[in-house]
Amino acid sequence: MYAYVYGEKRTLPAGFDEFFDVRRTAVVSIDMHRGHLEDSPDCPCPAPRARQIVEPIDRFHAACRRLGVPVIHVETTLRRGGVDDVRGNVAAWRKVFPLYAGPLPNADEHGIEGSRWTQFVTHVDPERDLPVTTKKRLSVFYPTDLEFLLRNLRRETLVLDGGFTDCCVLNAAFDASNRDFRVVVLRDLVRGTNPEMEDAALRIVSLHLGLVTDSDEVLRVWQAQVVPS
C-alpha cells in the first residue's frame, strides 16, 4: 500500500490496514452537481477543473458497487427563497471567493432546491446509492444526516472524491477526522480551485487528517480482500 505524504509517494509501514478495510468503508462523493459543473456562463459556482473527473469517478463508483462498498452522493441544497443563505445568514464563501474568482453573476441560484443546479452530473444508481441532499455549508456533515447514515451502515473509513479539494473536500476531511472516522482522499478523483490549492489541501490532509492515495491503489487492495463467490 502507498500514500502521498506531503506530496511524496511512499510505501506505507505496517499499521494502516484499517484504512483499507473494504467491509468498513463508504465512499463519499462531494458536490458533483450542475451548480459546479455546468459548462455555462449561468453556472452559479463554477468548478471547471472538476469536469475532468466526472467519467473517472463514474468508473470508480461502478467498481465500488461491484465490491459492495456503499456510494454516498452529497449535494448542496438550499430552500427556495434564500432563507438558508442569501436571505438569512450569508455564507462566507459568497463574500470572499469572488475576491479571487471575480463576480459570480448567478451565485444566488447556487443549490436552490428544485433547480437544475442540484442535479448530479455523476451517475447515481437509484437502487444502490445513497444521496445526502441537505448540505448547506462547506462541510458534508453540516447540517446533514451523513454521520447518522454512516453509523448505521457501520462504516468507519470514508473515501472522499469530488470537489473542491481545497474547500468542501478539505472540510469533509477535517470534520470526519474530528468525528474519529478514518479518512482517505483520492488524489486522482478530486479537483480544486487551481493546482496550487489542490496540492496544498492534499498536503494538509496527509499531515493531519488521513491518507492521500489513488483510486487504483484503493481498488487493488479492496479486490484482494473480496473472495469471489
Contacts of residue 63, defined as CB under 8 A and 6 or more positions apart, other chains included, come to 219
In contact, 75 and 118? CB cutoff 8 Å: yes
DSSP assignment of 71-131: EEEEEE-B-TTSTTTTTSS--THHHHHHHHH---TTGGGTTBTTSGGGSBSS---TTT-EE
Is residue 207, in this structure, part of any structural domain at all?
yes
Assigned domain for 205 exists: yes
Domain count for the chain: 1
Domain that holds residue 52: 16-225
Cα-only R_g, the chain: 17
CA 120 – CA 199 distance, rounded (Å): 26
Quick check: is 2 in a domain?
A: no
Q: How confident is the model at residue 226, as a pLDDT?
A: 87
Q: Is the pTM of this model over 0.85?
A: yes
How high is the mean pLDDT of the chain?
97
Instruction: Say which CATH number the domain at 45 has.
Output: 3.40.50.850
Assigned domain for 60 exists: yes
Q: How confident is the model at residue 1 (pLDDT cuts 50, 70, 90)?
A: very high
101-129 pLDDT, tens digit per residue, is 999 999 999 999 999 999 999 999 999 99
The x, y and z cell numbers of residue 203, run together, are: 498536503
Say if residues 20 and 67 touch (Cβ distance below 8 Å).
Answer: no
**Looking at the domain assignment, is residue 141 inside a domain?**
yes
Q: Would you state the pLDDT for residue 10? A: 98
Could you tell me if 206 and 200 are in contact, meaning their C-beta atoms sit under 8 angstroms apart? no
From edge to edge, which strands make up the β-sheet containing 25-30?
A: 130-135, 71-76, 25-30, 157-163, 182-191, 211-213
Residue 26 exposure: Cα atoms within 13 Å on the Cβ side: 24
Residue 130 included in any domain: yes
pLDDT at 62 over 90: yes
Report the alpha-carbon distance of residue 158 to residue 54 in Å, rounded: 19
Model confidence pLDDT, tens digit, residues 143-195 = 999 999 999 999 999 999 999 999 999 999 999 999 999 999 999 999 999 99
Residue 11, domain member (yes or no): no
Residue 153 lies in a domain: yes
